[in-house]
Structure 1
Amino acid sequence: MTKPRSRQVRPGSSRSRVNAAGRAVRAGVQTSDDIEVIENWRKAHNKVLNDWQASLRAKCKNREVTFAQRLKRRRTIFDKLARQPGMELCRMHDIVGCRLIFPDMESLYDFRTRFLQNRRSAHEHLKVDRDPYPYDYIQVQHPTGSGYRGVHDIFRYVARSQESKPWDGLQIEIQYRTEAQHAWATAVEIAGAITRSETKFGKGSEAEKDFFRLSSEMIARSAEGMSSCYPELSNTELIERFDEIESKTGTLRHLRHVKMAETAYTEMSKQGESKAMVLVFRPENLTLAIYGFADLSSASNYYFGRERENSEEDIVLVRVAGELKKAYENYFSDTTNFIHLMDRSRELLK
């Protein structure tokens, strides 16, 4: 009896051809063939994601952790190529990723330590021998100085069978955040959606970027007993600087009043659990539509079709166990956690 052929998308082009397509996109001279090459490369990463998510989900059982996975959107890949001129597409390590959100620092590091110690797969853990580990953005400041905090692990896929050889070398990023760190990152993305400034990628005004650097420092001190971007400031100086920036930007005030998708999510929840969802965010009017699907294949077909037809929409395909809203909070109206942390920080740091 012959074995059934894998339904996973295989990489269809050489690494050099993929990199050439990426360079064409960066130069703005991409052809339809370049787009097809990149789409194939992107979709091929689903094999790596599926293998990893199953293992991580199993390890999350009976733990207080929120898990989510995602495939990077084509437009986001293009934006990253434009932002990083030296980036070759084949070296982009976060085309697929998993995110784990923990209540506190202790549970985050405990889970990660146990996971890495008990890991039996042959997949290569990149830069793990560096000291300090360069992707621990809690212990080492993020290279952008943005205030982002969290830990990332990057793995290179190593095939365990001849059948899996085509995916050899593809990469995946595993993100670990505390709930406080996730609340901050959520607020950054929501603010970017409001202003179209993409503060997350360093494109916002200097005042808006400083708002989030200062808020990161306040949250790190009050919620985790640590420092972030401004360890040299006293608590009084920190709050004074924050108040000055807030008076200029009104960012916290805007976040208190954002409304995007609470109703849509509630209605979707009433219809029963979906195996996969497609989220369509329209920045021009701050609305979000959510489409539920009974299976991942149907959701994928809708996602790729809609993405081809609507380049300006922010479209996300998600398959999340349970807490969709919590894991992808940046696509919903709930900034409550960030606002609560900021209000609490002011009280504790007075």
Structure 2
Amino acid sequence: MSVSEKIIVPGTNVLRRAGNTLISSEASEAEKAEAFKTLTAWRSLHTYPIDTFQKTLRRRCGELKFKDFTVAQRLKRLPSIVSKLKRYPGMNLARMQDIGGLRVILPSIQDVYRLHNDLIHINKRFSHEPKLPCDDYIQKPKPDGYRSLHQIFIYKSRDHTELDGLSIELQIRTKLQHSWATAVETLGVIEKASIKSGFGSDDHKHFFKLSSALFSIKEQTPILPELADLSPNEIALQAKEIEEKLQIFKKLKGIAITAKHIESTSNSRYAYHILRLYRSEDAWKVDVMPFSKSQEDLAKTFYASLEAQVKGDPDVDVVLVSVGDLKAIKKAYPNYFLDTNQFIKEMQSAFKKFLDA
């Protein structure tokens, strides 16, 4: 996108009508197709802001001398956007704050708060306006056990003022919190039920609440209030009983995959990658399709086309990401490689600590 290129931004009423059409049971296929075009165009506008955010985040993480960090960006998947509109019928697409998202994965809780504090208080060069207070799901985990710090920023641009006001969501989490979220998504794929969206069996959901509590204990942060009266031993025992009954670790271990059809194995000359996770002959595979920076429009067009093709298919999932080389992709999006080794290792360590003593 050149500085001189004028960007057309859909109006609030246009976005509201498109959102209402997408969740309407009475809208025609032609009306829905037109609404999807509006949504796709609106989503693609968030690419420029998250590109500039990512560069700032990488620079700040380097200057803060974190031992290890991963910065990733993504555009929210169309099915996820529509699902959110259905869950919150009064929401206008123009007010959805997480269409453009960035994630930073850091080693420790201290690192999470240090980066957040730097971005909202100390770093005067970071001109985008934070919406405070943030959503701190570390100090107050979500009811399902999810933990991370979410900060919304209102974007400001020197080159494209027409994009001013776009919301960008930044998630900052530890490696441990990331391993939990990856396991939730991966088991959801295996069970064909989005556990992170509230579906799935009660046993599975309770297991992840318990595992979240064990990880909170390790990181010395608050656990879910409903589990606060239980001792670490009781939490570990309940989790182990569910795991053994449902063979959760065996399911997770048996499905890890390696990437196929990869052109970019160790270089970072590609700016974008489309990940396509799909089931083929009772096995899961993943395609990684790289695109250069100059192919940004092609990547977005191809991504939208793939999403339209696989809409409603539980055996296919696609996402467009920008994170670096294949190694970085695997670190940032292990759920697309169904890699839950870190989660299993951490859970087995907790069982040994609290139950084998």
TM-score with structure 2 length normalisation?
A: 0.86
8 A Cα contact 2:128 2:154, kept in partner: yes
Uncovered stretches (5+) of structure 1, i.e. residues with no partner: none
Per the alignment, residue 336 of structure 1 pairs with 341
Distance 2:318 2:162 in 1: 28
Task: Kindly indicate whether residue 182 of structure 2 is the aligned counterpart of residue 200 of structure 1.
Answer: no
Structure 2 residue matching 1:264: 3-state secondary structure: coil
Percent identity of the aligned residues?
33
Kindly report which structure 2 residues correspond to 1:145-184, keeping only aligned pairs within 5 A, or say none: 145-160=143-158, 164-184=160-180
Per the alignment, residue 101 of structure 1 pairs with 105
Per the alignment, residue 226 of structure 1 pairs with 221
8 A Cα contact 2:259 2:287, kept in partner: no
Distance 2:259 2:287 in 1: 10
8 A Cα contact 2:256 2:340, kept in partner: no
Task: Indicate which of 246, 250, 256 corresponds to 1:259.
Answer: 256
Per the alignment, residue 285 of structure 2 pairs with 287
Deviation for aligned residue 1:126? 1.2
8 A Cα contact 1:268 1:292, kept in partner: yes
CA 294–38 in structure 1, closer or farther in 2 if over 3 Å, else same: closer
8 A Cα contact 1:94 1:171, kept in partner: yes
The one-letter amino acid of 1:51's match is T
Task: Indicate which of 13, 17, 25 corresponds to 2:14.
Answer: 17
8 A Cα contact 1:10 1:167, kept in partner: no
Deviation for aligned residue 1:43? 0.9
Structure 2 residue matching 1:176: 3-state secondary structure: strand
Per the alignment, residue 129 of structure 2 pairs with 124
Structure 2 residue matching 1:31: 3-state secondary structure: helix
The one-letter amino acid of 2:101's match is G
Task: Give per-residue Cα distances to partners, 1:154-195, cap 9 Å, x unaligned.
Answer: 0122344xx623212210000000010000001001011111
Distance 2:70 2:139 in 1: 22
Task: Indicate which of 317, 321, 329 corresponds to 1:318.
Answer: 321
Per the alignment, residue 247 of structure 2 pairs with 250
How much is the aligned-residue C-alpha RMSD, in angstroms? 2.2
8 A Cα contact 2:154 2:166, kept in partner: yes
Per the alignment, residue 307 of structure 1 pairs with 307
CA 249–113 in structure 1, closer or farther in 2 if over 3 Å, else same: same
8 A Cα contact 1:281 1:331, kept in partner: yes
Task: Give per-residue Cα distances to partners, 1:282-314, cap 9 Å, x unaligned.
Answer: 156422111223334243343233233332331
The one-letter amino acid of 2:165's match is G
Structure 2 residue matching 1:27: 3-state secondary structure: coil
CA 54–271 in structure 1, closer or farther in 2 if over 3 Å, else same: closer
TM-score with structure 1 length normalisation?
A: 0.88
CA 274–305 in structure 1, closer or farther in 2 if over 3 Å, else same: farther
8 A Cα contact 1:71 1:95, kept in partner: yes
8 A Cα contact 1:207 1:248, kept in partner: no
8 A Cα contact 2:148 2:171, kept in partner: yes
Q: Which stretch shows the higher mean deviation, 299-308 or 250-259?
A: 299-308
8 A Cα contact 2:120 2:130, kept in partner: no
Deviation for aligned residue 1:234? 1.0
Uncovered stretches (5+) of structure 2, i.e. residues with no partner: none
Distance 1:10 1:175 in 2: 28
The one-letter amino acid of 2:213's match is E
Aligned residue-pair number: 334
Deviation for aligned residue 1:208? 1.1
